[in-house]
Chain A
Amino acid sequence: MTSPPDPFDQIRERISGYILSESTFRGEISFAVGAESIVECCSLLKNTLGFTYLVDVTVVDYLTVKFPRYEVVYLLHRFGENYEENLRIRLKVALEQDDPAIDSVTPVWSGANWLEREAYDMFGITFRGHPDPRRILMPEDYDQFPLRKDFDVRDRESSKRSFERALDEGLE
């Protein structure tokens, strides 16, 4: 008796040129991808392999734990006919500490727009080619990236400054 074909095999084969390494944790597959090929890899996954749904774009800041410091994480989903045929994969892109930047995947999934804005807002990752690279949660003149591990979460000074400025503008 042969075991059923691994649905990931086809994916692995098609994007093998972009994969730097692969890891599995509790049945969840993660592929490490180079920053320069993220858009190509994503369009292939979306247009040929059916990963039409970008679940989330987020960032991990390893600070001193790991080098390079940042890792941008893309969670992708493919819908299947049956429940068992749903597939989820994770792409990870490592970014350097200085001036972390990566190409935007908004041209591939327009839903990436706000996700990338949030990643920028919280971690200061620049998404090149993003159609609207503004902050999304914090005030627009805020000058910190609060989810970076070297930011003090109790530091309210920047928030206060933004608040004072908003007040001054409103009262003119």
Chain B
Amino acid sequence: MGVSSGPLLGGDGFLTTKISAVANWGRKNSLWPMAFGTACCAIEMMGAFSSRFDIARFGAETVRFSPRQADLMIVSGTITYKMASVCRRIYEQMPEPKWVIAMGSCTCGGGPFDSYAVVQGIDEFLPVDVYVGGCPPRPEALIDAVMKIQKKIDNEGPPIV
């Protein structure tokens, strides 16, 4: 990006940039999470959203429980196979571009539940962008994951239209 101004323009400035840079800048600073909280990790996620940790500082405080209005799915909590089809359906209802954070050991790899009902990692059925380990991870860890998503968005190429 470059900002220029000169007498030639009558004092007004102009900006040279790429469309992808502007789009990515907008996207990364206004992530709207779809909070898919199914168990204990959801409590830490709520902690990250509320005033003490305040994920709003990173532009991701607008939690939408409608997938149509969200672009970041935060899966926090144990996912059973019965829930997995719901989770996948909700993911598919989100408009592109979209990202997924797997929050907690359960979503990363089953956590303490090596059992018949629990999915051993949501990457069995979702494309995960960032994994956050911990049982549960602290809110700082979730914020770190959001920042990693932001970096990832920054590096994305021109949008395919």
The stretch from A17-25, A60-68, A163-171 touching chain B is: A163-171
Q: Is A86 an interface residue (CB 8 A)?
A: no
Collect the chain A residues with CB atoms within 8 Å of residue B117's CB: 138, 146, 159
Shortest distance between the CB of A32 and any CB in chain B (Å): 32
Partner of B81, one of A144, A155, A160: A160
Given A144-B116, A156-B120, verify A138-B85 contact (CB < 8 Å). Answer: no
A162 CA to B117 CA, complexed, in Å:
11
Mark each residue of chain A from 42 to 62: 1 if its CB lies under 8 Å from any CB of chain B, else 0.
000000000000000000000
A167 CA to B120 CA, complexed, in Å:
17
Q: Is B152 an interface residue (CB 8 A)?
A: no
Shortest distance between the CB of B80 and any CB in chain A (Å): 8
Collect the chain B residues with CB atoms within 8 Å of residue A162's CB: 81-82
Collect the chain B residues with CB atoms within 8 Å of residue A153's CB: 115-116
A138, B82: Cβ atoms closer than 8 Å: yes
Q: Is B68 an interface residue (CB 8 A)?
A: no
Partner of A156, one of B85, B88, B116: B116
Partner of B84, one of A158, A163, A171: A163
B82, A139: Cβ atoms closer than 8 Å: yes
Q: Is B114 an interface residue (CB 8 A)?
A: yes
Chain A interface size, as a band, is 10 to 19
Partner of A163, one of B85, B92, B115: B85
Mark each residue of chain B from 76 to 100: 1 if its CB lies under 8 Å from any CB of chain A, else 0.
0000111011001100100000000
Shortest distance between the CB of A26 and any CB in chain B (Å): 31
A156, B89: Cβ atoms closer than 8 Å: no
Interface centre among B80, B88, B117, B120 (most CB of A within 10 A): B117
B85, A146: Cβ atoms closer than 8 Å: no
Shortest distance between the CB of A140 and any CB in chain B (Å): 10
Shortest distance between the CB of A86 and any CB in chain B (Å): 33
Write the chain B residue with the least CB distance to A151. Answer: B116
Q: 25 A-B residue contacts at CB 8 Å?
A: A138-B82, A138-B117, A144-B116, A146-B116, A146-B117, A151-B116, A152-B116, A154-B114, A154-B115, A156-B116, A158-B116, A159-B116, A159-B117, A160-B81, A162-B82, A163-B81, A163-B84, A163-B85, A163-B119, A163-B125, A166-B85, A167-B85, A167-B88, A167-B125, A171-B92
**13 additional contacts, CB 8 Å, given A153-B116, A163-B85?**
A138-B82, A146-B116, A154-B115, A156-B81, A156-B116, A156-B120, A158-B116, A159-B80, A159-B82, A160-B81, A163-B82, A163-B125, A167-B125
Binding site for B on A (CB under 8 A): 138-139, 144, 146, 151-156, 158-160, 162-163, 166-167, 170-171
Binding site for A on B (CB under 8 A): 80-82, 84-85, 88-89, 92, 114-117, 119-120, 125
